[in-house]
Every structure is written in structure tokens, then in C-alpha cells.
Structure 1
Amino acid sequence: MTAQARPAPLTLAVLLALAAPAWGQATGTTDEDHAHDKPHTLEAIEVTASPLRQGIDDLARPVDVLAGEDLDARKAGNLGETLERQAGVQNASFGAGVGRPVIRGLEGARVQVLANGNSALDVSTVSADHAIGIEPFLADQIEVLKGPATLLYGSGAIGGAVNVVDGRVPTAQVGRAVSGRAELRHGSVDDQATGMARLDMDAGALTLHADVFRRSADDYRISGYAFSDALVAEGIEEGEDPGHFARGRLPNSRLTTEGGALGGSWFGERAWFGLAASTYRSNYGIPPGAHAHGEDEDHDGEREDEGHGHGEEPVRVDLRQDRFEARGGVRDPGPLQELNWRVVRSLYEHAELEGDEVGTRFENDGLEARVEAVLRERNGWRGAFGLQYSERDFSAIGDEAFVPPSLSRDLGLFALTEKDFGRLKLEFGARHDRVRVTPDAQAPAVHRSASSLAAGALWDVNEAVHLSLNLNRAERVPTAEELFSDGPHIATGSYEIGDAGLDNEVALGAELGLHLHQGRFEGSVSVFRTRFDDFIYLADTGAMEDGLPVRAWVQGDAVFSGWETTLDVELADNASGLWTLRVFADGVDARPDAGGRLPRIAPGRVGSDLLWRQGPWHARLGAVRVATQDDVAAGESATAGYTLVDAGLEYHWDVGGAGWELFVEGRNLGDREARQHTSYLKDLAPLPGRNVMTGVRVSF
């Protein structure tokens, strides 16, 4: 299996075969004698990222929601790791403290990360070693919008969006005096201890919220060397002592993360209003070699190397983000069905510590305001429109401040509408943004406009089979990093040069999907293709500066194409328990028109889980196979394929009004060496080795 964008023939054939009898039902074929041939009713999951608050099965746009038991089984210390088993989503890790979602091969400034529908307002898109200031363990659900989400969230979502819903500002009353949940867990691979607690309380018209969490971990264990075989062999050839290479543990990967929030909302007959204040703090290490400043030598010409870090001081990131959120709504205000608004202010800073000294300090003062108006249904048409304003006052001071301070402002207007025509549903949307990026330097400000359009169709062939088609044209305005960079960017190991003359990036995309809900079977297959005009990327210039290769932000046309598929099958439901099989697979290919490949494109994958449930017992056994990625960009190293095996066992019991659960989870049970091709650190830092986690959860 390679990263080429070709559908998995077996899974596609299975879905089409299963769809065939269901398709026949549309022409009158029935089989009332077999209960499993009848469509089953799926649990309704509301997608809060849409102003129309639709169920996931009512959207033509491709959306995944991770919630409930599935979310509990996948929660990890960062967002990318939590979502990496979702079809079409992979993780771009930068050590234990950083994991950013990669959606269909796109990441960074092209994937918007949201908390309750508002931007994270951190600096995670500025550099690959910057963490996202959102805690997955507090999430009620995580929504993944695949493909351009620019209509809802602006040009920063041209590749998709991830919305973490944590209820810190309650949007509805609990319905009882007190509810909550708590969890404690311990991980063996890094001696991790994680704890979280949450309370939601109704007090008349008020609903109050409080949460707190803390996670601490040591350097994580690995199955071999931290450096790849190629780097180790190169070092040995140059006379390096093999004992100098870190092995068994990844140096400087320990971390501490903590935070919490207080919030509350008042609910009246037609209006509501809420506030929340939260803090997120993290101190995490950058693996040696990722922040190397060149090779320091002692007086004898030997490298001073503690764990083969080339003599540099260990680099740690000390991060703090405080957020203040207000939101509310009014029902039936005049001609509208609903009017909702929200405002978020974020104060973010992090210091990159080299030993006891601050090397570089990043600060970001962010503000975002959004108003959404939902229209009353008229002649079958439903719709919403809104206005969004965002502001980012960014600065970086220090030796690695490769981006000058800048002030970015974005004002966007958007509209969505939809209508059912019998079994056919049509969706349309448009957005226009005005963006101004002003550098705190002699360079002039950059003014840009960006317009995006989308159309979608959802055809219910019958109750079991649905077809979807999405067409879109989306624009992305270059970021301050792409426009004004001029300096050493140690995280990417390059000297970066921006270009204030970059044009908007334009994406023309299409996606076709088949969705099946028939008795014991539930599945989907989708294929997509997006052509980018003026795609922005870093290109090697062949020059050197400060001992680093010079890379410039340039533009060129490129094509992203791919596929993804999922299939759930209820194998048996009898005295032995309920047995379910889940399978997923995906692949993406990205090629510039000029030839070659784009860097860090995710390899193809296939994974499966066997689930068992019997009374209070739940168990899971799964594996994912990641293909070798050897079709790489110029100067980029290949990564070997690997298979990760995981498992879980849970026991549930009730005491009074509380539900308790003891669990044990195993990840990478084969203790395999795995290097993510999407990571800048693929040659410096493998994924953790065998990890056995034990813990207890309670909800009431």
C-alpha cells in the first residue's frame, strides 16, 4: 500500500455490494422477514459548528464527530493524537507536547482549530513546535469538518476545521441539580499521571460550570534509538561513538500541563447569556536535534553531545493562555428564528527556554467576535447569515524571532441556505473576507479580499443509501509568517524568507460520497480532488545562511486527491455478547504541477477494531497499518511502514446515581518503532513505545 490516491478495492466492493439490495428497495424490493435488512435508527449527533445545528446525517458536507465511548477510548494528551484514528485525519507530532491534526494532507495555517466554535487564538500555526492551547480530556465531542470550511470560519480553514466542544459556557440547562464527571489515569510509557474533574449545576435560571485538569509525564520510552537508522549510520561513519546516541527513552520529552475554567449562563424564556474564564498552561520539552543551532565542538574537535543533541542546551516551551468568553442568544427576534453571538478574548504567551535563559518569547493578543442569524423557514428554504471579526496582535522577541511583530485584522460576511426537494437536499453558501496584515517594520501593510463559494447535494436514494456531492471554490489569504518571515526558523531547520507579494491561494474542489445505513451495516466511501492555484509552500533555494538551508515561501499550482472509507459491521448479538467490527482506510496524494512531491504528505493507512460488549464488560482489539512513504519531496527522507496494535478492557457498574468505570488500555502493544511522515521530527523522534494505561472514570 502506498500513498497514491486509489480507493481500497475490497472495502469499496463490500460497500457497493451491500448498497445494491438497499438500492433495490427504492424500486419496491423488500424483505420483512430479515430484521437486519431494515435500516436502524442512529443516535442523533448535532454538529454545533453549523449555525443551523444539524444532525450529522443531515449534512451534505463531510463531517465526523468523535463523542461518547469512542472519544473516551481515544483521548490523548494532544488533539492530533486524539483524532489520528479518524479516517482522513493524521497527526503532525513534535514530541510529546505537540500534536496538530492533518486533514487530507493539509495542516498548519490551512486547518482551523476551534474551541466551541471560536478560534483557538494561539500561535500553533506559526511554527510546528508550538502546541494548541486546548485540552482534549475536557471535550464533550470533537467535530472534524473535512474539506474547505472557509464559509464558516474564514480563509484559515481552507483545508478543514476541528471544533472541540467542552461546554465551558453552558448553552442549555443540565436538567438536574448537579452533574459531572471525573477521571484518573496512569500511563506506563512515560509514567504519566492525568486527572480531570468537571461539574455542571442548575440553580434556578442559572447553570454553572467548573472544570480542572492536570497531566504530568516523564521522558517517554522508545523501542530503539531516538534518531533514525540513517542518521545513526551517518554518525557512526563520521566516527561518532554509538553510545552517544539516545536510546530507550526520548530525551527532553517530559511535560506538565494544567488548567481549568469557571463559567455560567442565565436562561430566560426567550434569551440567554453566559460567561467563562479559563486558563491553559503547559511546560514541555523539544527533543534534542529539533532546536540545534549547528554543531558545537570542544577543543579536541569532538562533538559535545549529551544524547546526541549536538551540545545545545535542552529547549523547553513554557506556555500560558488565558481566555475570556461571552456568548448568548435570543429566540424569535422579529423576522428571525434565532440570533446568537459570541466574543472571545485570548491572552497568549510562551517562552522558549534554553537552559535557564529565555531564547525567544512569543505573544499573541487575540480577539474574535461573531454574530449568527438563523432565518425563519420560507417556502421550504432554511438559512443563516453572519458577521465575524477577528484580530491578532502578534509579536516574537529573541534569537529565533524569524517573524516580525504584526497586527492582523479580518472581517468576514457569510451566508448559508438549504432546501429539501423530496429525497434531494441542496445546500449553498458564500463568504467574503477583508484581511489586513500590518507588520511592525518598514514593510507596507498587505490588504487582501477573499471570496469562497460552495454547493452541496444530498440524495436519499432510500432510507439506507445516501449519495452526496460537494463542489467548492475557496480562497486563503497568506499569513504573516508567509509574507514577512526573514530569519532562522529552528523548528523547521531552515532560514525562512517570506514574500509580501504572494497572491491568494485558490482551491477548486469536488467530492463524491456514498453513505450506507442498512441493518447491521454502516459505512461510507468518499473520493475527493482539489486543485490549488498559487499553492503556498516552502522551497529550497540551494543557499545557506547561519549554517541553515535557505527556504523561501513560493507559489505554484498543485493537486490534492484522495479517498477514505469506513465500515461498521455488527457481527453477532447473542449469548456470547455483541460483536462489532470497524474498518477504516484512507490515502492522499499531493503533487505540484512543476513536478515532484510536496513534503510531509501522509502515507496511506488501513485500520480495524473488533469490539465486544457483554453486560458491564466492554473490550476492544485493534490495529492500524501505515504504509511506507518513499514517494517524497526533493531532499526529504522516506519513512518505513509500521503496524500499531492496541486494545482496551472496561468494567462498568452503578452506585446510586453515579456510573463508575475501571479501564485498562494498551497502545503500541508490539513496541514497534514508528515514525510519522507528517512530522518534522520523523528522523529525530519516534512515537512512544508500548504503553499500558490504567484508570477509573465516574459520571453522575
Structure 2
Amino acid sequence: MPTPARLALALAAALALPGAALAVQPPDGGATDPTPGSAPAPADEAAQDDRHVKDLDSVIVTASPLPDTAENLIRPVEVLAGARLDEAKSNSLGNTVNKLPGVQSSYFGPGVGRPIIRGFDGARVQVLSDGLGSGDVSTVSVDHAVTIEPFLADQIEVLKGPATLLYGSGAIGGAVNVVDGRVPQAATDEPLQGRAELRAGSVNDEKTGMARLDGTSASGNLVFHFDALHRETGDYDIPGYAESAEHMAEEGEAPDPATRGTLANSALRTDSGALGVSWVGDRGFLGVGYSLFNTRYGVPGHEHAHGEGDDHDHDHDHDEDAHAEEGGVHIVMDQRRGELRGGLDDLGPFASLRVKLAHTDYTHTEFEGDEVGTVFENESTEGRVELVHRPWAGWDGAFGLQWAQRDFEAVGDEAFVPASQTRDAGLFWIGHRQFDALRLELGARHDRNEIDIDNTGPAARPDRDFNTTSLSAALRWDVSDALHLSLGLDRAQRSPTAEELYSGGLHVATGSVELGDAGLDPETANRAEIGAHWHSGPLTLGASLYHVRYADFIYLADTGIDEHDGPLRAWTQDDARFNGAEASMDWAFADNDSGLWNLRLFGDVVRAELSGSGTRQLDLSVPHGDHAHAYSVELARGGNLPRIAPWRVGGELRWERGPLRASLGAVRYAEQDRVAEFERATPGYTLVDAHLAWHADTAQGNAWEIFLDGSNLLDEEARVHTSFLKDVAPLPGRGVSFGARVFF
């Protein structure tokens, strides 16, 4: 069906779905967006709360040591919470936040999806668990998953623009903070409260169950937290063939009818759990927590083809056994994490002190069939101290100290990165002051980064150390109660990672040979952004324009040379620039006997290119046992950067009435033809999703909810341009998920 016809069908369905729901004529009352464990509201208040999924502008953003609402923060931020978070939750963190303006996801099969913020990904986007790094190695390779489970989150905060001021070198492109409350910081509203959820899905035979409990002792001082999750899926359905037509033509292959409709080796199994306990007093708290995350997932596109007699079978155990027999690549990841957190208020000239400490043991094993290929091990310790001072000369502010140590090792034939020890330490201050209608925010941070590597290999490589400094200024002008304008200026620096400095060998996940450059310098980003926010009654509009100019931008360049039957790519650096824009609209256009109707529209675009001219020469040496192949490559100093997300527009129509709520949305991803040299363009596609939920409160103060979610309802073949697997692993086809939630 042509795209215009599909969009028309989506809009028609968006209008028809709430209309069909109206015919049910449900009784009034019942909250549609409960906060887990909260006490039930009186009947009149509950009816009023039904009309609002959640005012996200009023949600407190905790990623800053100076917490404030999303509405009042000067810096651009997006928050997912409440019913919108429940509807967005997915197997990966990246796919969960994928529909926020300016935020997309990488894709390496259903088990791996890392957030991409305004075109920045990997080592430029920091993923946090309640303000501390996740402790995984998802920045080392695109096939490594983030060890944070979105289904257990209370809310997810996305900081757009450089967050180096708060979280150091790895947040130069932004940060995603997952708030899960695994170490309690305050007493609960009820002695025992929690939530549980069971769901099943059609596109991959998903079976997911989760439970969470929070409670407080009779004395009010001892608070505990418990959560657990289990998920199993089989290989997922796709509209056509795993390999794109262009890829098959390039390889001289013909489609195999036996492989149509299923993405082989895409099964997934995840287990996660945590236990935390805190002592909470009048002036502070002290708590500990322990958590585990274990996942097994196939790597699509890296398995042998199915034979003619293979049947499509979603049974998880059958899938995993079949993959082992066929030699498919699958990954087993295990992480154990211990945390200590504490806080103290009212310290004379200081308003509060917060201390966070986490130790993480991480193991990632890649299997080829039933044979161990490569084992990645990572042991990390991170600490953070935040000291909020009382107003000094009119300035509210906070000092912060952050340090981390990482011991990383890869063992196996495909260990393309040597063992390394990384130590980071940073000191920062951030503060703001109000001047009538103007609010000014200033900040500064200095970091020291050291990388020591294992030099037992054939070629000695130098250890490196770096000093980076970041400065920030932001201004907000309240032109009126309805209109706010903002301006942000940043100078941020990022140190090269061990992967960028020392890679040297075949990287099976990307199917390429990757070479690092031990002489890389820190990259420096200078950002300018202007934004506007206007609201009047039921209508809210927001827009922003930004420009980022990089000096010594580090990127993985395709050289056009084949090595080991795959492309040779080299880490290098040059000047670059990013230009982008975002816009959004929320309009509650009707609130009457038919219910509350809300229309949301958004769009974003980013253009990223090298800013030089002419060419430069790159001399490369590819190790081959006890010798090496030498190449001299000319790289263009201009042109597009690789794997940049395309522009997109999206919309969502929501309806709420009594215990019912429904929504239908569509997002159009444009064709990405602004590609780097040796990179193939990606066709555009439209993804349509729908959600329906029925909520009810009980006389005992508990609540339950039955839900039905639909994804990719048009069954489009969708290939993510930011993915290394775009030509061999499309997104899942049409799928329906259903289940129940209980709040108590």
C-alpha cells in the first residue's frame, strides 16, 4: 500500500478506535494513572485524576543535584513516567525512550538497544541507574546490552545536550537516568505497597512477569525494596526476509522461501532482581542494595542459514538448542552489583549531603554454537558525593566529586580490545540565581582520566592520561506566565576511550576489522541552543534549535578496504558540526461527556557532517599473526558522518473516559540518504502503534489494570539506519501484547 494511503488508514483508525471504545459506555471513576503504592484518592479527586495521564512538567527530575521539575529546568530534558512509561516499556532501554523528541535507539536485535540523543550514541551518552553509571560495557561494542531493565523503572529522565558538567566525559552528548528506587531514600506512604505485571506478546511469543514490593516498618525507620523480573521470547516475526533486497543483490543471493517471516537467532531471555534496605531518620538515610541482571540473547545475522526443513517455532528452549546446533552466535551476560547510599540534611551552611557508591562485577560471554568464542570481563567501582550549599550571594548551588575505576579484559580469538585499567576523577560546581524574570545557571567541571593497558601483545602501545574541562551557562527568560525563552552555551570535552585508542582486530559484531589510534586527542564540543516553551490553557508548544561544533571529533571511518572478508574501519578524528531542531505540541482539544481528548505531535531532525575540506592521509597497519598489512588511505575531510538517524515526524491521539484509556500513534521515519562514503542509504518507513487499558480501583484501596498494546500495526519492513544490522535484521512485524497489572 502506498505511504499516503497507509497514513490515511492510520489516521482513520486513530479516530475510530476511541469511538468504538465510547460505545462501551463504561462507568465514571477510577484512576487511570496510579502511582505505585499510593493511597486511593477520594471519589471526586479520582474522577478528576482520570482526565490526566500525568503532568510530566510537574515531575521532579533527580538527575541533577539541584532537583527541580521538568517545567522549571533550564536545560532540555524529557521525562517518561506513569501510564506513558507503562505503554513505552520495551525489552531495551533505547527502544523504551525511542519516541521522545530528539531521542532514537541503536538496534542490534531485540536484546540490545542503546539511546541515541540528537545523533550522539555510544561513549557520548551516559546511561545511569539513579545517578550512577550502569557498570556494563555497552560502549565497547554495539552488540553489548545495557544492564538496566526498563520494566522496573519508576521514571526515566533524558538529559539532552552535554551532561558532562554532571556526569563527566562519557555524557558529552547527553545522559539517560533510570530511577528505580532500589535503595530506598524515604519511608513509603503505606506499610506495604507494590505492583506486579504479567504480559504476553504475539510477535515473538513473549512471556514477561515482574513484581515489586516496598515497605516500611512500624517504627517508620526501616524501609525495604524488592523487585524481580523474568522474560522469555522466541525468534520474532518479520514482514518478509531478514536480508534486504539490496544486500541479497550485492551478495548475489536469491531469497529462500523457508526463511521468510522469521528473524532467526533473535530469541531472548532475561532475569533481573534486587533487594535494598535503608534506615531513614528525620535528617537523612543510610541504605544498601544488591542486584543482579542476567540475559541471554541471539545475535541476528551471525548464524548459519536455516535448512529447508526448519520450521518456525517460538518455543524458547527449542530456539536456543537450534541456535547452538546451527552455530549461531548468542551471548550470555551476567552482572552483580552492590550499592551503598546515604544522605544527611541541614548541615549548617549546607542544605544536604548525598553519597553514592557502587561496585559492579560484569561478565559477557559470546558463544558460537556451543563453543565459547570471547569472554569480556569488567569490574568497576564508582563513587559520587554531592554537597548542596545554601544561598551564597543569591546563588543556590552544589559541589560534586565523582570518581570511577574500571578493570576490563577480553579473552578469546575475537578480543579486538586489549585489557585495560581506566581511572576517572572529576570535580564540579553547578548553581543558579533568579533575577526577576531571568534565571541564570552556571557550572564548571574538571576531570582527570587515565588509561593503562596490557602491553603483552606483539606491539607496545602507550598508556594515556587526559585532563578535560567543561564550562556551561544557561539563561531562561520568563517573558510572561505563558511564554518562556531559553539560551544555552556549553564547552564540553571528552577523553578517548580504550576502545577508540587500542582496538586492533576483527570485530565480529560489526563484521569488520577495527583499528584504534593510540594518539587520539580529547574532543571538544561547543554548543549553542535556543528554545521556546508556550502554553495557554489546554495547548502547549515547544521548540528548540541547536548547533554543536566539534574540534577533533572521534569517529569510526570506513576505509573502503576489505580485510578478512569484511570492511576495514579505523578510529580517527577531524572537525565536525551537528545542526538540529525539535518541536512538539500537546493539545487537550476536548474535555466533555465523551471524555478527554488529547493530540500530541512531534518532530526532530539532525544533520551531522565533517566540517573540513579536501582529503587527508591515514596510514594503517593491520596485524596478521607475526606480521602486518600496511595501507595508506585518503579520507575526505568533508561529507556526512556515518549512521546518523533520519528526520522523523510523529503523532498520537489519546482518549480517556472513566476507567478506560486508549491511544493510537504513528511515527514516520524518513529515508536516510545523507550517508557517509561507503554507506548505503536506508528507505523510510512508518510505525503505527495502539494502546487500550481498563483500570479499576477496589474498595480495599488496591487497583488493577488490563491492557492491550499493538505495535507496527501496518506490518512494515523497517530497517534502522543507525544499526550495523540494518541489512540483515529488520524490526519486528505486526505484534500484539496483552496482560494485567496490579497496584497495591
TM over 0.5: yes
* Aligned position for 1:136: 150
2:271 matched to 1:262? no
Aligned-partner SS, 1:502: coil
Aligned-partner SS, 1:558: strand
Query: C-alpha distance in 2, partners of 1:515/1:339?
Result: 33
Query: C-alpha distance in 1, partners of 2:276/2:384?
Result: 19
- Residue from 232, 245, 249 that aligns with 1:229: 245
- Residue from 687, 690, 694 that aligns with 2:731: 687
Query: C-alpha distance in 1, partners of 2:56/2:239?
Result: 42
CA contact (8 A) 1:273 1:327 kept: yes
* Aligned position for 2:335: 321
Aligned-partner SS, 2:248: helix
Report the CA distance between 1:542 and its aligned residue: 3.9
* Aligned position for 2:471: 453
* Aligned position for 1:641: 684
Query: C-alpha distance in 2, partners of 1:129/1:633?
Result: 22
- Residue from 531, 554, 557 that aligns with 1:539: 557
2:734 matched to 1:678? no
Map 1:277-288 onto structure 2 (within 5 A): 277-288=290-301
Query: C-alpha distance in 1, partners of 2:666/2:326?
Result: 38
Report the CA distance between 1:407 and its aligned residue: 0.2
* Aligned position for 1:146: 160
Aligned-partner SS, 1:224: coil
CA contact (8 A) 1:227 1:245 kept: no
* Aligned position for 2:195: 181
* Aligned position for 2:675: 632
2:207 matched to 1:163? no
* Aligned position for 2:38: none
Query: C-alpha distance in 2, partners of 1:121/1:57?
Result: 31
Aligned-partner SS, 1:233: helix
- Residue from 206, 221, 224 that aligns with 1:208: 224
2:510 matched to 1:492? yes
Report the CA distance between 1:42 and its aligned residue: 7.1
Report the CA distance between 1:312 and its aligned residue: 7.6
CA contact (8 A) 1:232 1:245 kept: no
Query: C-alpha distance in 2, partners of 1:287/1:467?
Result: 46
Report the CA distance between 1:149 and its aligned residue: 0.1
Aligned-partner SS, 1:416: strand
Gaps of 5+ in 1: 1-39, 296-308
Query: C-alpha distance in 1, partners of 2:648/2:256?
Result: 35
Aligned-partner SS, 1:250: coil
Query: C-alpha distance in 1, partners of 2:532/2:560?
Result: 46
- Aligned residues: CA RMSD: 1.6
* Aligned position for 1:514: 532
Query: C-alpha distance in 2, partners of 1:184/1:154?
Result: 38
Q: Which has the higher contact order (CA 8 A, sep 6+)?
A: 1
Report the CA distance between 1:548 and its aligned residue: 2.6
Report the CA distance between 1:41 and its aligned residue: 8.4
* Aligned position for 1:549: 567
| 1:480 partner letter | A
Query: C-alpha distance in 2, partners of 1:175/1:86?
Result: 31
Identity of aligned residues (%): 55
* Aligned position for 2:658: 615
Map 1:266-305 onto structure 2 (within 5 A): 266-289=279-302
2:694 matched to 1:651? yes
* Aligned position for 1:472: 490
Report the CA distance between 1:683 and its aligned residue: 0.6
| 2:656 partner letter | R
| 1:216 partner letter | E
CA contact (8 A) 1:94 1:679 kept: yes
Aligned-partner SS, 2:106: strand
Query: C-alpha distance in 2, partners of 1:241/1:634?
Result: 27
Query: C-alpha distance in 2, partners of 1:102/1:511?
Result: 18
Aligned-partner SS, 1:70: helix
Aligned-partner SS, 2:84: helix
- Residue from 711, 732, 736 that aligns with 1:667: 711
Query: C-alpha distance in 2, partners of 1:283/1:354?
Result: 13
Normalization by structure 1: what TM-score? 0.90
CA contact (8 A) 2:299 2:331 kept: yes
Query: C-alpha distance in 1, partners of 2:470/2:429?
Result: 11
CA contact (8 A) 1:226 1:245 kept: no
| 2:674 partner letter | D
Gaps of 5+ in 2: 1-53, 306-322, 612-636
CA contact (8 A) 1:105 1:601 kept: yes
Residue-by-residue CA offset, 1:535-571 (whole Å, 9 max, x unaligned): 0011233443333322111110000010011100011
Query: C-alpha distance in 2, partners of 1:444/1:188?
Result: 52
* Aligned position for 1:595: 638
Query: C-alpha distance in 1, partners of 2:228/2:395?
Result: 43
* Aligned position for 1:95: 109
Query: C-alpha distance in 1, partners of 2:78/2:145?
Result: 23
Query: C-alpha distance in 2, partners of 1:682/1:549?
Result: 16
Map 1:62-81 onto structure 2 (within 5 A): 62-81=76-95
Q: Which moved more, 1:130-139 or 1:260-269?
A: 260-269
* Aligned position for 2:444: 430
After superposition, the Cα gap between the structure-2 partners of 1:42 and 1:215, relative to the gap in structure 1 and judged at 3 Å, is closer
Query: C-alpha distance in 1, partners of 2:209/2:269?
Result: 12
Report the CA distance between 1:587 and its aligned residue: 0.4
Residue-by-residue CA offset, 1:176-203 (whole Å, 9 max, x unaligned): 2011011111110000011100000001
Query: C-alpha distance in 2, partners of 1:677/1:542?
Result: 19
